[in-house]
Structure formats: structure tokens, C-alpha cells
Homo-oligomer: A and B are copies of this chain.
Amino acid sequence: LLKAEIIAIGTELLLGQIVNSNAQFISDQLAMLGISVYYHSVVGDNPERIKAQLDISVRRSNLIIFTGGLGPTKDDLTKETIANFIHRSLVLDQDAMKSIEQYFSTRSMEMTENNRRQAMVIEGSSIFINDHGLAPGMAVFEKNILEDTEDTYFLLFPGPPKELQPMFTTYTVPYLLSILPEKKVLHSRVMRFCGIGESTLETRIQDLIDTQTNPTIAPYAKEGEVTLRLSSLTKDVDEAERAMERVITEITARVGEFLYGWDQDSLASVVVKGVGKKHLTMSTAESCTGGLLGHLISKVPGASQVFKGGSISYANEIKELQLGVPKEVLEQYGAVSEQTAQYMAEGVKERYQTDIGLSITGVAGPDSSEAKPVGLVYLGFSFPTYTIVKNIHLGGNREAIQLRAAKLALFYLVKELQKGE
């Protein structure tokens, strides 16, 4: 049975300059592989303290994962200290050397002797090539570190997350699968939801979360969205895929109305894809979100294919002037009203000459306006032949209300586009 712990080497962590995101990332990956993590530690880049930590760790864990301390300078002593601990030497790895040389040649940069040191690896280790930097990762195992112990695995990774993360998913996950006592494959999917709270979604599928082991179901909530990650770790790929299909069908039957996408999708990317598929164009009219809705859409590469622009109509006179919301509507119902949302959506659709107009008007707070409560938001959706308005009540601070309002506008647009498909 693998008992894992993660040891980060780095002064920046101990000074509070950066957060230990590597420990989170690796823990999450190991959880998917069914490997339990019992400890995280952070230790300074100091051979005595790394050695003392090794003395503690080998007594309680047999999969000991190091991050950081593989840089080119003489201060980076992780490799040397671990090699000494298991009485091995450092040797030059040809594959790592080739990869480092390539890194420099594609960038027309000069390689230094220090960089050559980065191709030195612990004798007998398996190498994880670094596709996004210099220091390779490595895995080495040793029998009988203490009397009667089974194999103890030491894994070493470079510290920068943009190097470590792709290295881990590409090379380390297969390596770990190969050392699991039973040969297994990992298969995972992410289901993305909006318009439903985490606890409500969890309650509706609690029995599945509690009982399903293939795939397991892990819910996460972030910024007004909820995701479910389904992970299946099995010997039989066909059976895994059938089980995955069954669980997805069951989840969709219960909460499918809130499902907007899969895996790498974002709300905005699904909107851009959906509007593009119908060969339509769209525009936005924003009051309380001040441009956030437009920005979320414009973050998607290629958004310009469907998104022509929009009006940030923060002041009432701008709603009148730029979107044609009648003065009487603003006076009678207020800027935060169903009527204004409708005029804004129709107005921007017409004036920006698009097929779809999306509008948001509401009270983001901290102060209420027009005697309307903080968190009250109207969303308008104008299509070529009809317009609908939804009103929602959002909790949280100004920033959370703005973000949720923009995301719900995208979510309801996705749902409206899917109708009749």
C-alpha cells in the first residue's frame, strides 16, 4: 500500500511570498489515482534540515515526493541530499541533457556550466522530461531503507508549477500507474454546472457520491460554478467506460438542467461555440457588471467571430442615449427593472446590429439604489424574434455579485440556445 507525503523545498514558501500550490496539485492527482497523502511539509533549502526531514519521512511514508530545489545554482541541494541519503551518486542523464540543449538552441540562448548540472540525476532513477523548462523530474526507489521495509519511492520535481504540472500529468501519472500493485488505467471527466449551489447539487446526488466507487465523484465549487470530477481507476477499460456512461446518465437525469459543459469548457467558450454554430452574432448591454460580461466573452480566443461588442451603460442617461431605453421607463420602473433590462437587450441588439442582445442591470452594492435590495439583478435576452427577462437574487459582496450575474447571463444564454436542439 502506498502512503504518500509531499515535501516542498523553498525559502519563498517559508517567507510567505508564494503559496504551496504544488502540494495541492499533486494531492489532487494522487487522490484520483487512489493514493492517500498523509503529510505535506515545507523545508528550507538547507541540507541538514532536508536530511532531518528524510529521517522523519522514511519512517512513516513509502512514496516521498519532493518539489523545488532543482534549480541551477549551488544553493539547490535537494538532489545531492537525497542521493547521499540513499548512498547513490549523481550521474549525467543523456536524455535530460538533450532536452536541456534543445531548450537553449530553440531560444538562441547560451548554456552555462550550471545548466549542465541540471542534467545530473540520481543514479538508477527514471527520468521525467521537462517540456517547459530545464530541470528534469526523476523517480528512484530503494529497498530496505530501514530494516524490513518494502520499497520506498522518492520522486523529485522542479518547483515552477508551469513545469511541474504538465510533467506530472504526462509522465508521472503513467509511472505511478505502473507501480500500483494492480495494473490499472485512469479515466476522468469533468461535468460543469451553473445556476445551482454546491450544497443543493451535492444533496441531489449525495447517494451517488457516497456509493459510487467506479467512477468516484468529487464536487468542487468556484466562483458561482460547481464541477463534478468523475474518476475511474480500473483494469477493464471497456467496463470503466460503461460505468462512466451509467453514472453520467444518472447525474444528468437529476441535475442535467444545470449542466453547461465538459472538461476544459468555460461558460463563455460554450456561448461562443453555440452562437457560432447557429451562424449568429451577439452584443452586450451592461450596467452593474460594468464590462465584465463582454470581457469574459472576449477572453475566448476567436470570440470576434460572434461578438461584435456592446455598451457599458452605467449611468441612466447612457441607457437612454446609447440604448434607447425610454426616459419614462427609467422614471416609472427604475434602472433596475424588468422593463429596463428588456429595452437594454433590444436596444443593444438593434444598435450594434447583431442577432442576439444580452443585458444586465442590477444592484451590485455595497449600497442599495432605487430602494431596491443589493443582489437584485435583471438579465435580458433578446433574440431575433423574441425577448425574455429573468430576475435573480444574488448573495455575496460587490465583486461576487458582478461575477455571478455575468456568469448566469452566459448560462441562461447557453440553455436558451440549446432549446429545440
Contact = CB atoms under 8 A, between A and B. Distances in A.
Contacts of A16: 23-31, 37
Contact of A303 (B17, B290, B297, B304): B290
A212 interface: no
A321 interface: yes
Q: How large is the interface on A (under 10, 10 to 19, 20 to 34, 35 or more residues)?
A: 35 or more
Contact of A41 (B28, B39, B294, B297): B39
Given A291-B295, A310-B312, A353-B317, A15 B42 contact: no
Interface secondary structure of A, over-half rule: mixed
A297 B312 CA distance: 11
B28 A318 contact: no
Given A17-B220, A19-B21, A291-B293, A38 B31 contact: no
Nearest to A314: B309
Interface in A197-231: 218, 220
B309 A311 contact: yes
A295 B298 contact: no
A186 B316 CA distance: 47
Nearest to A37: B14
A293 B398 CA distance: 17
Given A56-B56, A290-B298, A315-B309, A41 B38 contact: no
A382 interface: no
Interface in A271-304: 284, 286, 288-295, 297-299, 301, 303-304
A290 B301 contact: no
Contacts of A322: 309, 311, 322, 351-352
A49 B60 CA distance: 10
Nearest to A292: B295
A137 B242 CA distance: 50
A307 B284 contact: no
Most chain B CB within a 10 A radius of its CB, from A291, A292, A299, A398: A291
Contacts of A295: 289-292, 295, 402
Contacts of A313: 309
Nearest to A366: B301
Nearest to A36: B14
A180 interface: no
Interface string A372-403: 00000000000000000000000000110010
Nearest to A318: B309
Contacts of A315: 304, 307-309
Nearest to A365: B301
A193 to B, nearest CB: 17
Interface in A331-364: 351-353, 364
A31 to B, nearest CB: 5
A13 interface: yes
Interface in A36-57: 36-44, 49, 52, 56
Contacts of A40: 8, 13-14, 20, 40-42
The 4 A-B residue pairs with the shortest CB-CB distance, nearest first, are A290-B298, A16-B28, A291-B294, A291-B291
25 contacts: A13-B23, A13-B24, A14-B39, A15-B28, A16-B28, A16-B37, A20-B20, A20-B24, A20-B40, A38-B44, A39-B41, A40-B42, A41-B41, A52-B60, A289-B295, A290-B299, A290-B303, A291-B312, A292-B295, A298-B312, A304-B314, A304-B315, A308-B315, A309-B311, A309-B314
